Chains A and B, each alone.
Chain A
Amino acid sequence: MKFKALTAAVALFAAPMAFAGGADDDNLVINGDLEITTKAAAPQHLDGVLDEVISGWHFRSDETQALEMDDFDNPGMIFVDQAVDQWNTAEGSEGKSCADCHGAPEDMAGVKAVYPKWNEAAGEVRTLQMQMNDCRTNRMGADAWKYDAGDAINMVALMSSVSRGMPVNVATDGPAAELWQKGKDLYYTRTGQLELSCANCHEDNYGNYIRADHLSQGQINGFPAYRLKNAKLNGVHSRFKGCVRDTRAETYSPGSEEFIALELYVASRGNGLSVEGPSVRN
């Protein structure tokens, strides 16, 4: 009898825990005045799939959430500062810096919100990093940055930081539609020995536990994300790679066409959420 009573008590305490992984109701305000939309009605193409899109911020603990609410506490802002220095540094055979053509970083507000984006002249969908490297190789005469590495990801963080609060608005129609469809197919394709698709975790099971952690919707409005686990900024493609690897599959490479397609599609799933990067996550 005693044993039964004990297990009943344990079950009682354990029961609320099972539901503790969902999105909370906190509000994200950065520096006390910048309000971030972290929950929004799902974009039309998600009809019947999701009612609401939710930023990954809601799935983190209060302590981690707090780090993002003040730029001084946000370790990602250190890298933004480094990118500001880079922004003003002339490089390459043309002796130009980003600032020479684009002015202040703040003048680029809104750019991050619409990428990945179709580039008419190149006839391809480009991520922000591809566009930066186009600038570097063609206009500055400098070496291209390695995908998702140091300088490149810092610069994405800077572009993101000046667009914070603006709604993500990635175009899914027109010439981008073909690649968007490819990204959507990838999202629902099971990979690896575990045979998991993105949707199995981030659509069917967000808010539930995956081992000791909470599953988010896998939104990328907060990228680049400063992750406490590796104490650096992480790019979207690197995160995709980590996820695909966790399904025990051979991964695509950051910068590959597959990940560009997936970034386009996943970004569009967050249309309506605010640009939030650099965010702070586990």
Chain B
Amino acid sequence: MASGVKPRVKVPKKAAAGDVITIKSLISHKMESGQRKDGSGNLIPRSIINRFTCDFNGQNVIDVTLEPAISTNPYFEFEAQVPEAGEFKFTWYDDDGDVYEETKSIAV
């Protein structure tokens, strides 16, 4: 597992049914592009988050492919309509196979 990885999400605790809410997410990750070299000239292997998804009660809200040009600590802010009370599930997929998850429930 890459070191110092910590996901965080900000979702309002409550919303009215049908409301459009703003969701902010950030994961601390070094997002090593695979194109840099270390002090002795060796290529530093690529290590990035390559995919981010958000689901609400099993229904997909957003599914993002991340590329090496995205900088450290990727941040996503997006809007979602909340039809009912439920749970947002956020998933980040690391190059090394690790999957980081975070859930937030919202009341209506």
Contact = CB atoms under 8 A, between A and B. Distances in A.
A binds B: yes
Interface of A: 72-73, 75, 78, 81-82, 231
A81 B6 contact: yes
Given A75-B73, A78-B73, 10 more contacts: A72-B8, A72-B10, A72-B24, A73-B24, A78-B6, A78-B26, A78-B28, A81-B6, A81-B28, A231-B71
B53 interface: no
B91 to A, nearest CB: 19
B72 interface: yes
B13 to A, nearest CB: 14
Nearest to B28: A78
Contacts, number: 16
Contact of A231 (B10, B24, B26, B72): B72
A73 B26 CA distance: 9
B4 interface: yes
Task: Give the one of A72, A81, A231 with max B CB within 10 A.
Answer: A72
Contacts of B4: 82
Interface of B: 4, 6, 8, 10, 24, 26, 28, 71-73
Contacts of A81: 6, 28
A72 B10 CA distance: 8
Closest 4 A-B residue pairs measured CB to CB?
A72-B10, A78-B28, A72-B24, A78-B73
A81 B4 CA distance: 10
Nearest to B71: A231
A118 B28 CA distance: 37
Contacts of B6: 78, 81
B32 to A, nearest CB: 14
B74 to A, nearest CB: 12
A81 B71 CA distance: 19
A189 to B, nearest CB: 37
Contacts of B8: 72
A84 to B, nearest CB: 11
Contact of A72 (B26, B71, B73): B26
A53 to B, nearest CB: 32
A231 B4 CA distance: 16
16 contacts: A72-B8, A72-B10, A72-B24, A72-B26, A73-B24, A75-B73, A78-B6, A78-B26, A78-B28, A78-B73, A81-B6, A81-B28, A82-B4, A82-B28, A231-B71, A231-B72
